[in-house]
């Protein structure tokens, strides 16, 4: 059950109140890969320039990421430069140099076409559609985008939204696409186009899931953000959320609503590690055990009724054997 | 186990994008009473002017609120006028006329002094301290305040914070009191003064609990806001949250951390009804069954692992009788 990701691999220069980095490894496909490789095999489709440092290629190799789809083009690698103030929920872009990314035309190696879990990171929706049409039998397709494409490629974007299973957007993008201040109404507009679910990312306020299965009561789920005392750099939080989200579902070989809820929590857990360091610093050292530990923390942070320790093996047909009144 | 509330009873004139009301029943103690009376007996301490409409007095009576502590003073009732734009998280105050509230000096009827659950709504912290000193054996004391007192009465406010069990603040007030952008650090500063817990209200982003019992992992809890398609008027959301919160704990006669978590959910549920109409319109018609229904919705919205349906009567000493593999 391999995962396919198409998106950017970039060199990021970032300032936050807590430090800065220059030309560090970044890009949507990078953050996604660094996270999802902890769950499953990853096939990367992206482009870099001739100047892309070999050590970063080695990083992808160490993570076990399949690089057959990584093009090396004449020219310079995509560069992004941004700054965050104390409100870490949104970045101020200082400079964008598309370089080789401007003429990027993704091509799928033959072996990638069997990928079953697909993440279309934030690129031109026209290219996202091309990719989609090449996948033979996707089990789950997940889409990300940004305000730029909502402004300038809304028709193509609407086509991709209609074609995928799950859409990931941040709060402002959801309202912008839906053209309404009401998040719920905007969500319903997006779901009416066809996707099974919409995940709205709210930064430090967590993420909410709207699912396309009728009554709101059965189609809403909320995952808070992990409480962190110090955030170094929020860059990549959304893409690594996607990495934990898609990665978990691929590892479970599932697209059930129950697993999608748990995938939201995995996304939040992975994103909480990402922001603790610049670039992919924290993701490099991350382990499944550390993910599991914070996953259990999330249970404590959100459960207000006791959960059954036997739930994995039981259908609750009767009270527990030897049950005694607890209070 | 009666509840004591001291705060304002007011006549509110409010505009939102969805309508407006003129001189409608409002005030912190009003919203709190209209909510907490669904859980327990309520003793009200407040002041109104000679112009206070008799029909509003009748409303309190219908809710079963004890009015022995309601003073009727010469002069006009406290009036507040405010406006909300599409971002319903904060109001713009258009006019405040303190009137009889300016010289309010709360006095506790003898019978109130035995109250065990106490809510000090947003008034001068000097008065809050006076009230506290008159309660004989409070089981739980809960405090609310506002930016004005943080600016102009910080010393007195710090004394009340040190003297109560639980502090309720909104996000901006928490950061302002803690003098730091980090919500977690601000929370720790407040908890270091002595209260057992701090509840930070985040409007449409829900509410978080920080408890003073060591490790963050055992002292953090998150309750989202109930997803509503349309909010008529956010006025009173915080005070009715407090009403559901304190009301639930009083009805349980408990101050355990498990019950405090459930009280957070009750607060969120009640607040979600409040904002569906202007003034106390929705709270008037609210029933315990409707509260219970949304409480169960909250379980669905936040649980990502199965809960045990027998949890109320069982300590999970063994797997459920007749258990079969669920997957």
Of B216, B297, B311, the CB nearest to A217: B297
Burial class (CB in 10 A: 0-12, 13-18, 19+), A231: buried
Q: How many residues can be counted in chain B?
A: 327
User: With an 8 Å Cβ cutoff, is A214 touching chain B?
Assistant: no
pLDDT at A82: 95
CB contact under 8 A, A313 and B319: yes
- Which of A204, A222, A256 is the best residue to mutate to test the B interface, defined by the most B CB atoms within 10 Å of its own CB? A222
**Do B317 and A320 count as a contact with CB atoms less than 8 A apart?**
yes
CA distance, residue B91 to nearest chain A CA (Å): 17
Q: Does A320 touch chain B (CB under 8 A)?
A: yes
Name the residue among A123, A178, A181, A128 with its Cα closest to residue A149: A123
pLDDT of residue B132: 96
Q: What is the pLDDT, as a whole number, of residue A225?
A: 94
A66 touches A44 (CB < 8 A): yes
Residue B34 has pLDDT above 60, yes or no: yes
Q: What is the tens place of the pLDDT at every residue in B78-126?
A: 999 999 987 777 789 999 999 999 999 998 999 999 999 999 999 999 9
Residues of chain B with C-beta less than 8 angstroms from the C-beta of A267: none
- CA separation (Å) from B272 to B155, B224, B226, B231, B298? 34, 11, 6, 9, 11
- Alpha-carbon span B261 to A32, nearest angstrom: 34
Give the bridge partners for A106, in sequence order.
none
The Cα–Cα gap between A231 and A228 comes to: 7
Q: Which pairing describes strands B197-201 and A220-223: parallel, antiparallel, or unpaired?
A: unpaired
Asked if the C-beta of A93 comes within 8 angstroms of chain B's C-beta atoms, the answer is no
A61 pLDDT tier (thresholds 50, 70, 90):
very high
Q: Do B221 and A301 touch (CB under 8 A)?
A: yes
Mean pLDDT over all residues of chain B? 91
Q: What is the pTM of this model?
A: 0.90
B142, B168 contact by CB (below 8 A): yes
Q: Is the pLDDT of residue A120 over 60?
A: yes
> If you average pLDDT over residues A263-267, what whole number do you get?
97
Reported as type and span, the H/E element at residue A207 is strand A207-211
Please state the φ and ψ torsions of residue B93, each to the nearest 5 degrees.
Answer: -80, 125
Summarised one tens digit per residue, pLDDT across range B270-280 is: 999 999 999 99
**Helix or strand holding residue A134 (H, E):** helix A125-134
Task: Report the gap between the CA of B257 and the closest CA in chain A (Å).
Answer: 10
Q: Give pLDDT, residue B85.
A: 85
Average pLDDT, chain A: 91
pLDDT higher than threshold 90 for residue B217: no
Chain A residue closest in CA terms to B208: A301
| pLDDT of A320 higher than 90 | no
pLDDT of residue B193: 96
Return the structure tokens found at B115. 């109250």
Please report which confidence band the pLDDT of residue A313 belongs to, taking 50, 70 and 90 as the band edges: very low
Q: Is the pLDDT of residue B323 over 50?
A: no
* Mutation target among B304, B307, B323 for the A interface, most CBs of A within 10 A: B304
Calpha distance A35→A290 (Å, rounded): 13
Task: Note the ipTM here.
Answer: 0.85
Cβ-nearest to B320 among A227, A303, A318: A318
Residue A216 pLDDT > 90, yes or no?
no
Q: Which residues of B201-233 are buried (b: 16+ CB within 10 A; e: fewer)?
A: bbbbbbbbbbbbeeebeebbbbbbbbbbeebbb
Q: Where are the alpha helices (DSSP H) in A192-319?
A: 237-252, 257-274, 281-284, 288-302
Q: Given a cut of 70, is residue B309 above it in pLDDT?
A: no
**Could you tell me the end-to-end alpha-carbon distance of chain A, in angstroms, rounded to an integer?**
47
B18 touches chain A (CB under 8 A): no
Output the DSSP codes for B96-163: EE-GGGGG------GGGGG-SEEEE-SS-HHHHHHHHHH-SS-SEEEEE--HHHHHH-HHHHHHHHHH
Q: Give mean pLDDT, residues B288-303.
A: 94
Q: How far apart are CA A294 and CA A285, in angstroms?
A: 15
Q: How far is A243 from chain B (nearest CA, A)?
A: 19
**Closest Cβ–Cβ partner in B87, B265, B305 for A299:** B305
Count of beta carbons in the 10 Å neighbourhood of residue A124: 19
Cβ-in-10-Å burial (0-12, 13-18, 19+) of B58 comes to exposed
Residue B310 — pLDDT band, cuts 50, 70, 90? low
Instruction: Report chain B residues whose CB lies below 8 A from the CB of A86.
Output: 181
């Amino acid at each position: 059950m391999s995962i396919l990701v198409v998106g950017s691999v970039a060199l990021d220069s970032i300032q936050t109140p807590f430090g800065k980095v220059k030309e560090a490894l970044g890009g949507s496909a990078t953050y996604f890969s660094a996270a999802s490789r902890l769950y499953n095999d990853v096939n990367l489709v992206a482009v870099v320039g001739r100047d892309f440092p070999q050590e970063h290629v080695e990083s992808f190799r160490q993570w076990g990421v399949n690089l057959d789809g990584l093009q090396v083009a004449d020219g310079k690698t995509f560069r992004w430069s941004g700054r965050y103030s104390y409100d870490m929920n949104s970045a101020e872009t200082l400079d964008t140099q598309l370089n080789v990314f401007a003429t990027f035309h993704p091509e799928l190696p033959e072996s990638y076409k069997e990928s079953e879990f697909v993440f279309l990171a934030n690129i031109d929706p026209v290219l996202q559609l091309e990719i989609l049409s090449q996948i033979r039998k996707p089990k789950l397709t997940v889409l990300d985008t940004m305000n730029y494409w909502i402004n300038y490629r809304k028709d193509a974007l609407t086509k991709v939204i209609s074609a995928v299973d799950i859409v990931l957007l941040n709060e402002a993008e959801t309202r912008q696409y839906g053209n309404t201040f009401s998040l719920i109404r905007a969500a319903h507009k997006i779901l009416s186009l066809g996707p099974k679910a919409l995940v709205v990312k709210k930064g430090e306020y967590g993420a909410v899931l709207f699912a396309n299965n009728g009554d709101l009561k059965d189609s809403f789920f909320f995952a808070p953000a992990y409480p962190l005392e110090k955030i170094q750099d929020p860059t990549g939080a959304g893409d690594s959320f996607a990495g934990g989200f898609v990665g978990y579902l691929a590892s479970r070989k599932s697209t059930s609503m129950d697993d999608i809820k748990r995938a939201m929590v995995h996304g939040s857990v992975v994103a909480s590690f990402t922001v603790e360091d610049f670039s992919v610093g924290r993701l490099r050292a991350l382990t499944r055990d550390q993910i599991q530990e914070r996953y259990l923390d999330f249970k404590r942070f959100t459960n207000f009724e006791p959960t059954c320790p036997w739930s994995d093996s039981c259908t609750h047909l009767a009270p527990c054997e030897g049950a005694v009144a607890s209070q």
